[in-house]
Structure 1
Amino acid sequence: MVGGAVIPPSSSNRKYLKGRQLIFPLGLASSLFFLWGFSYGLLDVLNKHFQNVLKVTKLESTGLQIVYFGGGYFCFSPIAAELLKRKGYKITIITGLVLFALGAIFFWPTAHFSNPTKGKQAFGGFIVCTFVISCGLGTLETAANSYTAMIGDPQSAAIRLQFCASWNGVASFIGPLIASKLFFSGEHATNLGNVKYVYIAVACSAALLAIGFFFSKLPEVVTDDEDSTDVTDQANSQIKPLWKQYNMIFGFLAQFCYVGAQVTIASFFINYATENADFTDSQASKLLSYALITFTVSRFIGIILSHFFQADLILLIYSVISIVLTIYVSVGYGRSAVILLMSIYFFESLMFPTIFAMGTANLGRHARRGAGILIMGVSGGAVFPPIQGVIADAHSTRISFLVPMIGFIVVLAYALFHWIKHGFKVRCVRSTVDNIMEVQPKLSHVSQPTDIVNHISRSTPIPPAPKTYVRENTNGTVITTEYL
């Protein structure tokens, strides 16, 4: 649901895992990314399948996206963020998996007792199941994104998010590929028989993961809002209130618009391919899975790009290209337009984790609540599809693709704002906290405030004192204590 640069999510004086210590927790986190990627991949295919079987309109079918992204992610994410703050990552993740499994298992009776003559009532049952699933996924994303960013070195937070998000992309193209075979083939193209079996398998997978997390020793992360040392207390007192974290607020708006654009593109992909070209439903579903393959490949490429270029610059370039491609899709015809629609997936793939990492940087004691707010931005997926659905029903699916273009324009504005604010940097500049600590004992006073996002220290040397102890604050200020 990253590309980029070095964007630490919180303080640099906290403890974090290194090297091989990261393998196990990141493996567990990647399994969560895979799970909700698969679920999301199925959602877009169900949208068209329910139009065929239950005879709902395009606008009505977007009810799935409304409850999936609006109900769970917008309404439940604040609850998940508070649970995360009070009970920690392990309990929050298990809670999310249990909710996800419950919603998925109830797909079986809903599909089993569905009657095509009462399609609207059956669709209402699927709406309720999808809402429970989304509550679980909103909880998982709140915990897993934050945990992935904070478990290791702040400087490599974006890279870890890219890696885990790549498995989300792998699952998201597997979902439509399986669905194209099971939902649109033979007699199953006109009934919901295979839907219930697919979701029983999904529920069992979630239950097994919950059991695995319950018995695993998941390392917790101590953040600035939990650390009671004098240094972090002083640092937290200097951090602005949450409502004054303007970068986070702008990041939320960009995340809201990006997810809205991504979801509405996926929701109407099959409709576009079948109406604007000569593809069948099954072929269009396969094309959707191929588009998601490019989405996944792009995320792995982003891991490489993140070592060389700034996150905000990559986001800026990708958003410009996405705007141009979306304009062509809204005016073009035929298979060439479908191919360019597929190419949008390549350039939108890095946006979610990049915006998340940029928006949650340097929040200190607000880190966990900030993560919950950024995840609430996923609720954009509940707003954009109905708007596009109205335009598609009234005019055409092709013209309706001007809606996601607006989302990409907002992402461009945030990327440009962040890039200008941080000095128009192109190359990714790194210097570790350890290197800073090696230099600072030679100084006897405090460095000027550090630009934490890019870790560039600007210091004013003063003749050394006999004995100096150095600690670095959350806000990037290095505090020294002298004993004469």
Structure 2
Amino acid sequence: MAGISQQAQKEYTAAPSRNYHGPLVIVTLLFFMWGFITCMNDILIPKLQQVFTLQLWQAMLIQTAFFGAYFIVSLLYFIFSVTKGDPIQRIGYKNGIIVGLIVAAVGCALFYPAASMLSYAFFLLALFILASGITILQIAANPYVAILGPPEGAASRMNMTQALNSMGTTVAPIIGGYLIFEGVDAVQNTGSADTVQLPYLGLAATLLAIAVLIKVANLPRVQSEEEEQMAPNAGALKYRHLVLGIICIFMYVGGEVAIGSTLINFFRLPEIAGLEETAAGHYLAFYWGGAMIGRFFGAVALAQFKNNSYKYMIMGLISAVTFVLLYSIYGIDEALIALGLIALNFVVLLLGSFLPGRTLGFFAATVIVLLLLTSFATGSVAMWSVIAIGLFNSIMFPTIFTLAIEGLGVHTSQASSLLVMAIVGGAIIPPLQGWVADASGSLQLSFLVPLACYAYIMYYGFMGSKVKKVAAA
């Protein structure tokens, strides 16, 4: 998710022969974990809405607390970096990752007293602290992944780690839904929040275990020689495509999170599927699983091959493995539907000619069509239309990020901080969709809110991402 700075590439070239596969595998665990934790919010929303008898917009404050931390912590980090120097460079990437893990573990542990006290405000505080830790992880781990290997392979590594992040978001609805909602059924106490205690204590223990693993692991220490300085006076904001990209990240994260946050309630609607919470959680996994498959597809599609036939063979293998897995878990109907959606994804990739801006624009246009079906169709058509959005969300974040920092040179680090702040869209758009649903009395029509977000993404892909030269700062 972070840009690959010139400094990072210089740091790598000091040890070109070193094998970084082991450290990369260890760091990749972080991407899986924060994907898992982020998607657990989609389980918390209907659960806490039930426990505290909240309106949907109030339940969406879960996402506001979570993604608001991204903005506040990133802003504080940006200010500190400009005035005092980069804190991660001071303590090292390894120690920065450990700090993020510990803070996130504290946030998870606070779910226990929040549930015992039955306090919604305490839950929001715990989520804010948890997300603060994940923000620190984002700041430290993303550039570290870029450094762990040859510069020419950095984009491929970032795509693969993002795919592992999506794997976390895929399994979270299944595991989290079972632990939280099945626990409710077991104790026959729908007014209790106790079923969230053990899952989040388990997450806290896992995060601390990873922190210990990172501490004892022989990870290379990368230190800056201050060859690249942060540009003063927010010089990065002179670039039009960056400013528009910041808005685009805001829209994308807001739209993606808003859709994922409403899916369980959407699948429960009688006119859509009439599913119970646990079953709805399984189909939520399709939404996030689509993002994972799409990112694997994107990583292969945007990679450089001497012979394109190898590219198509790998994509075919990914499709076949996906079909077999879904057939063995869910059955032939779900497997065939997923295969059809993957074929549609491939067609849109071809329309985009594997060019980042063009591909982003066509993916966003496809999501707009799917959201229209979600808003106005019923039954399985509406259900599978919204599930398919995950597959087309897949490449959007890394593609927007890459387009936004293109050609920024010395301003890249500053731009990266600004783009991370824009993740605050996940704190603002979901409550807005919840308010529209409550005000209109129609959850389906509320999907027009994220549709507006994807309309902007389509504009950015086709037009707004074009780089225009500016006067030297």
Alignment of structure 1 residues 405-424 onto 2, 5 Å: 405-417=451-463, 420-421=466-467
Please tell me whether the aligned partners of residues 16 and 150 of structure 2 are also in contact (alpha carbons under 8 angstroms). Answer: yes
Aligned residue for 1:24? 22
Deviation at 1:56, TM superposition (A): 1.2
Cα gap change, 1:379 to 1:238, in 2 (>3 Å): closer
Shift of 1:348: 0.3
CA distance in 2, matches of 1:243, 1:237: 11
Aligned counterpart, 2:44:
46
Q: Assess if the C-alpha contact under 8 Å between 1:257 and 1:408 holds in 2.
A: yes
Q: How does 1:58-457 map to 2 (within 5 A)?
A: 58-70=56-68, 72-81=69-78, 82=81, 83-114=87-118, 122-185=119-182, 186-187=185-186, 190=190, 191-221=192-222, 226-228=225-227, 241-275=235-269, 276-277=271-272, 278-307=274-303, 309-395=354-440, 396-417=442-463, 420-421=466-467
| 1:184-210: CA deviation from partner (whole Å, max 9, x where unpaired) | 222357132221000011001111122
Q: Which has the larger radius of gyration?
A: 1
- How far apart, in 1, do the equivalents of 2:16 and 2:33 lie? 26
How far apart are residue 147 of structure 1 and its match?
Answer: 2.4
Indicate if the aligned counterparts of 2:4 and 2:143 stay in contact, CA closer than 8 A: no
Q: For 2:444, give the aligned amino acid.
A: R
Give yes or no for contact 2:240–2:467 (8 Å, CA) kept in 1.
Answer: no
CA drift of 1:50 comes to 0.9
Rounded to whole Å, the distance in 2 between the matches of 1:63 and 1:243 is 30
CA contact (8 A) 1:158 1:357 kept: no
Shift of 1:131: 0.6
* Counterpart-to-counterpart distance in 1, 2:18 and 2:233: 33
**Quick one: distance in 2 between partners of 1:367 and 1:146?**
12
Counterpart residue identity of residue 79, structure 1:
L
State the 1:360 CA deviation.
3.2
Query: How many matched pairs?
Result: 405
User: Which residue number corresponds to residue 308 of structure 2?
Assistant: none
Q: Partners of 2:136 and 2:148 in 1: how far apart? A: 18
Distance 1:13 1:55 in 2: 52
**Residues 361 and 419 (structure 1), Cα distance of their counterparts in 2 relative to 1, 3 Å cut:** closer
Distance in 2 between residues matched to 1:286 and 1:332, nearest whole Å: 22
Structure in which a larger fraction of residues adopt helix: 2
- Determine the C-alpha separation between the residues in 1 that align with 2:277 and 2:17: 46
Distance 1:244 1:86, change over 3 A: farther
Give TM-score, length-normalised by structure 1. 0.77
1:58-88 per-position Cα deviation (integer Å, ceiling 9, x unaligned): 0110111001001x10000133453324433
> Contact 1:9 / 1:157 at 8 angstroms: preserved in 2?
no
Q: Provide, for residues 147-192 of structure 1, a one-character-per-residue CA deviation record: whole Å limited to 9, x for no partner.
A: 2234444433322111001111111111110122122222357132
Q: Secondary structure at the match of 1:181?
A: helix
Gap regions ≥5 residues in structure 1: 115-121, 423-448, 450-474, 476-484
Aligned equivalents of 1:238, 1:142: Cα separation in 2: 20
CA–CA distance in structure 1, aligned partners of residues 17 and 394 of structure 2: 27
Q: Report the CA distance between 1:371 and its aligned residue.
A: 2.1
Residues 257, 407 of structure 1: 8 Å contact kept: yes
Task: Measure the CA separation in 2 of the matches of 1:242 and 1:410.
Answer: 21
Specify the SS of the correspondent of 2:275. coil
| TM-score for the superposition, normalised by structure 2 | 0.79
> In structure 2, how many angstroms separate the alpha carbons of the residues matched to 1:363 and 1:88?
24
Give the AA of the match of 1:32: L
| Separation in structure 2 between the aligned mates of residue 295 and residue 197 of structure 1, nearest angstrom | 28
Q: 1:14 aligns to what SS in structure 2?
A: helix
- Contact 1:8/1:362 (CA < 8 Å) preserved in 2? no
Q: Using the alignment, how far apart are the partners of 2:232 and 2:50 within structure 1?
A: 57
Measure the CA separation in 1 of the matches of 2:16 and 2:422: 30
Structure 1 residues 296-317: Cα deviation after superposition (integer angstroms, max 9, x where no partner)? 1111111111126232232222
Residues 312 and 419, structure 1, Cα contact 8 Å, conserved in 2: yes
Cα deviation, 1:226-249, whole Å, max 9, x if unaligned, reads 444xxx79xx99999223233332
**Counterpart-to-counterpart distance in 1, 2:232 and 2:74:** 27
Is the alpha carbon distance of 1:150 and 1:214 closer, same or farther for their aligned partners in structure 2, counting shifts above 3 Å?
A: same
Q: Distance in 1 between matches of 2:413 and 2:146?
A: 11
